[in-house]
Amino acid sequence: MKKQKAVKIRLTKGEKFLLTSGFICVFALILVQVFCGATQGNLSIDVEKLKYEISKQEKTNESLVMQVNELTSYDTIKDVVKDMGLAYNNENIIVISK
């Protein structure tokens, strides 16, 4: 039996540089992808929180509008005016028209 000689692959400086820079680029791309994915997840969570706060504030606003409408109704104002001892005088109303 003959001994087989191991074939050594010799790389030049340029090939070593290209190979090393290729590995660094792949590693950097993986890191950037993970970082961007985490940032996107955090932004999605923030957006959902803001949507919840907006809907909560809209419900509060609707409730307040309903309360204002109840308090400004003619019957409520009429009752308050009577409690204060005032009277409705139609003769004192002036209509301005152009």
Tens digits of pLDDT across the chain (98 residues): 667 777 788 888 999 999 999 999 999 999 999 999 999 999 999 999 999 999 999 999 999 999 999 888 888 888 888 888 887 777 777 778 87
Whether pTM > 0.75 for this model: the answer is no
Q: Give the per-residue pLDDT at 1.
A: 61
Q: How do the domains of the chain map onto residue ranges?
A: 25-88
- What does the pLDDT read at residue 8? 81
Handedness of CA 11, 12, 14, 17 (dihedral sign): positive
Q: What is the pLDDT of residue 35?
A: 96
Residue whose entry in the numeric block shows the structure tokens 């001994």: 3
**b/e map of 14-36 (b: 16 or more CB within 10 Å)?**
eeeeeeeeeeeeeeeeeeeeeee
